[in-house]
Amino acid sequence: MKMNHSLSEQLRQIGLCALPAQLDDFVARATKARWSPYQLLEELSRAETAERSRRSLERRLRLSGIKSFKPMADFDWSWPTQVERNVIERALTLDFLSEARNLVLIGSNGLGKTMIAQNLCHQAVLAGYSVSFRSAAALLEDLQRQTPEGRRRKIRSYTNVGLLCLDEVGYLAFDDKAADLLYEVINRRYERKPLVVTTNKAFQEWNEVFPNATCLGTLLDRLVHHADVTVLEGKSYRLRESEMETAARRKKR
């Protein structure tokens, strides 16, 4: 047992991930099955590849910022009065990623824009992409609080991630400096990396979000040039759920 512990440490030191934790079981299976040296290396390679893939997935999920969300199976397609189901379902195949196209979801609160975006991001992580899901407010706050050098590093990070999702653009108003930072991210990703944006504002209303921003026209031009823009209309599903829960509680009384 002491020998196995020493061997496990040595295996960790040379960079193996799976074998150190399951060394006793691995040796037992190899002995029982009388693996040849080739079979042993094959099984070792398979175990390490699976463990590295698992750790990579866990890390990308952790860094993505997606957090908890409802699956698309729970999405009520009949609730919005307008929804382009074909556009959303095609996006869920992730074809827009390889084409470096953007997806913009426009609609009022409670129609499932964030839910759709989270599912897209989760699908991308499972497909092996690096993903960053951030509210527009969180991303801009992150950039604004940095030193100049730190801001450059952050912008490079947001520029190079496989899929960037900006959620809830339009829920808060920002100054022209914030607009310049957002433009910098969008411009650097332009025709290189895909972007998903959710917003409760039509584009002609973005001047309310970024008043006095001279870059706004160019920002929107870059955003929609290679993009699928789809609009959801209807009443808030969250409000409907709240009304149903209230009615159910009243019935119990």
Q: What region, left, alpha or beta, does residue 230 occupy, with left being phi > 0 and alpha being psi -120 to 50 degrees? A: beta
48-92 tens-digit pLDDT: 888 888 888 788 888 889 988 999 999 999 999 999 999 999 999
Q: How far apart are CA 101 and CA 215, in angstroms?
A: 21
Give me the percent of the chain exceeding a pLDDT of 90: 66
71, 120, 73: which is closest to 93 by C-alpha? Answer: 120
What pLDDT does residue 4 have? 62
pLDDT band at 234 (very low <50, low <70, confident <90, very high): very high
Q: How far apart are CA 45 and CA 190, in angstroms?
A: 39
CB 125 within 8 Å of CB 131: yes
Radius of gyration of the chain (CA): 24
What's the average model confidence in pLDDT over 152-172?
A: 96
Q: Between the CA atoms of 144, 149, 150 and 151, what dihedral angle is there, to the nearest 10 degrees?
A: 40
Q: Is the pLDDT of residue 159 over 60?
A: yes
163-177 tens-digit pLDDT: 999 999 999 999 889
What's the average model confidence in pLDDT over 136-140?
A: 95
What pLDDT does residue 26 have? 87
Q: Which amino acid would we find at residue 210? A: F
Q: What is the pTM of this model?
A: 0.81
The DSSP symbol for 26 reads H
Q: Which fold has domain 72-239?
A: Rossmann fold (3.40.50)
CATH 3.40.50.300 residue spans of the chain: 72-239
What pLDDT does residue 128 have? 92
What's the average model confidence in pLDDT over 234-251?
A: 72
